[in-house]
């Protein structure tokens, strides 16, 4: 690929984000799991098997290329540990050793009722649209929870933000063998 990074965005297609990564000469794939799981007309899969089947349908093919960055945004807040494990297994097929996942975990008692669209403003700033009118209880996942839910992804760095989100960068470090193969669901 000659130095071009590949990005998998699990959130909605946001113009500012696509433009930002295009300026960095990145190739971006968009899955929009927010829409698949949380749109008013979405049929939310019940159980790990149904969730895995939904991921097979929704995650894009990368034509056999592993991605360098996965943008999970705040999606993990809305998945239980078993769903996180299914997501992590599906994402592993997109990864090479060192692929990074960017995730934001809620630390307050409540969080928005559905995932929040984030907009990349520049290399150091994000904006977000939050509907504070509709709230739900936050699972307030901790680092040990992330290790259980995403065992092949290790926390590299984390920062607590003023808005109550804990930013995480996780690196793909598979426990049992070689990383990478053809990128997972929908490939080929």
pLDDT of residue 87: 97
For residue 149, give Cα distances in angstroms to 44, 76, 132, 134. Answer: 19, 9, 27, 26
- Tell whether pTM > 0.85: yes
Which residue ranges make up each domain of the chain? Answer: 6-39+50-172
CATH class, 6-39+50-172 region: alpha beta
The whole-number pLDDT of residue 32 equals 94
pLDDT 10s digits, 15-65: 999 999 999 999 999 999 998 888 777 778 888 899 999 999 999 999 989
End-to-end CA distance of the chain: 18
pLDDT of 177 > 90? The answer is no
pLDDT tens digits along 106-121:
999 999 988 988 889 8
- What local confidence, expressed as pLDDT, does residue 113 receive? 87
The whole-number pLDDT of residue 126 equals 86
Distance of CA 173 to the CA centre of its chain: 16
Q: Which two tokens stand for residue 187?
A: 């490939």
Among residues 101, 186, 106, 92, the alpha carbon closest in space to that of 139 is found at 106
């Amino acid at each position: 690929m000659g130095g071009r990074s590949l990005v998998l965005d699990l959130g909605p297609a946001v113009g500012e984000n696509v433009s930002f990564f295009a300026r960095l000469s990145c190739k971006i794939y968009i899955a929009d799991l927010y829409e698949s799981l949380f749109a008013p007309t979405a049929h939310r899969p019940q159980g790990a098997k149904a969730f895995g089947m939904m991921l097979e349908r929704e995650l894009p093919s990368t034509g056999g290329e592993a991605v360098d960055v996965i943008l999970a945004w705040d999606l993990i807040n809305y998945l239980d540990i078993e769903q996180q494990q299914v997501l992590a297994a599906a994402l592993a097929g997109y990864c090479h050793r060192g692929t990074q996942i960017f995730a934001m975990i809620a630390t307050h008692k409540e969080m928005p009722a559905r995932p929040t669209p984030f907009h990349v403003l520049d290399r150091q700033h994000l904006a977000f649209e939050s509907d504070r009118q509709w709230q739900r209880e936050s699972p307030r996942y901790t680092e040990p929870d992330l290790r259980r839910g995403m065992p092949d992804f290790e926390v590299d760095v984390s920062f607590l933000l003023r808005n109550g989100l804990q930013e995480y960068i996780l690196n793909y470090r598979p426990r049992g063998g070689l990383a990478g193969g053809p990128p997972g669901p929908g490939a080929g």
